[in-house]
Amino acid sequence: MIMAVYILADIHGMYDKFMRMLDKINMTDEDILYVLGDMVDRGPHPIKVVQKIMNMKNVRTLIGNHDSGVIGTLKFFAMNDSYRGDTSTEREFQTLDQQEKMNVIEFLSELPYYYDISVNDQQYILVHGGLGNFSPGKSLDEYTIDEIVWTRPDFSVPYYTDRIVVCGHTPTQLIEENDRPRYIMKKNNYIAIDCGACFRGGRLAAICLDTGEEFYV
Ligand SMILES: [Mn+2]
């Protein structure tokens, strides 16, 4: 079996959908799954999602704005037992033992914010949000984390002519250029894969870059 590359994003605590997606794509040990950030917040089991991903060896993860945003709060909760969490992320985090808490914080703190990969001779840039303050000659290292995790591309204008940008963060239901809401949008050298798993009527989506095959839960 030849290695395949799968991508999904914005699980947002939807652990059950994530498990069903893993069943559906049925990866081999040689396959790689890229998770483009926003594992936490909104859905019921954000920390379970993070811990599952931490324990899968063929997964590469990017940081999203929500993952980045909770690190400081989780550090606070790891040091202060007497406060009650408000969000699903905080509450689930508080059920962990101290070592597990530190492992989660360390994992989130070390996540990269982009990948630059090549599949079938096509180059892909993987980010959570977009490339804020884009300039064609700017190297990916020169973007700030905020420019990559918080921004939304103008999907009517490609960033690159020779590279495809794969992003989450912006549910495809909200993309004006998208003719197929609730489906992955492939247009103008973008692949937008957040189909709003945590929202009513939304779905968790994944794509196999090698075959173009799309998966929905
Ligand atoms: Mn996001």
Domain extent listing, the chain: 5-216
- Number of H helices and E strands in the chain, helices first, is 6, 10
Cα 126 to ligand 1 centroid, rounded to whole Å = 14
Q: pLDDT of 163-209, one tens digit each? A: 999 999 999 999 999 999 899 999 999 999 999 999 999 999 999 99
**CATH fourth-level superfamily of 5-216:** Metallo-dependent phosphatases (3.60.21.10)
- Expressed in angstroms and rounded, the spacing between residue 1 Cα and the centre of ligand 1 is 34
Read off the pLDDT of residues 2-27 as tens digits, 9 standing for 90 and up.
699 999 999 999 999 999 999 999 99
- The pLDDT tens digits for 85-98 are 999 999 999 999 99
d(CA 49, CA 44): 10
CA of 44 to the centre of ligand 1 (A): 17
Which of helix, strand or coil describes residue 207? strand
User: How far from chain centre, in Å, is Cα 114?
Assistant: 11
What's the 129 CA to ligand 1 centre distance in angstroms? 6
Confidence of residue 132 (pLDDT cuts 50, 70, 90): very high
Ligand 1 centroid vs 2 CA: distance in angstroms?
Answer: 32
Please name the residue ranges forming H helices in 55-94: 65-79, 88-93
What is the whole-number distance in angstroms between the Cα of residue 168 and the centre of ligand 1? 7
Amino acid identity of residue 117, one-letter, is I
| The pTM of the whole model exceeds 0.85 | yes
Q: Give 84 or 54, the one with higher predicted confidence.
A: 54
Q: How far is the CA of 83 from the centre of ligand 1 (A)?
A: 26
Question: What per-residue confidence (pLDDT) applies to 181?
Answer: 86
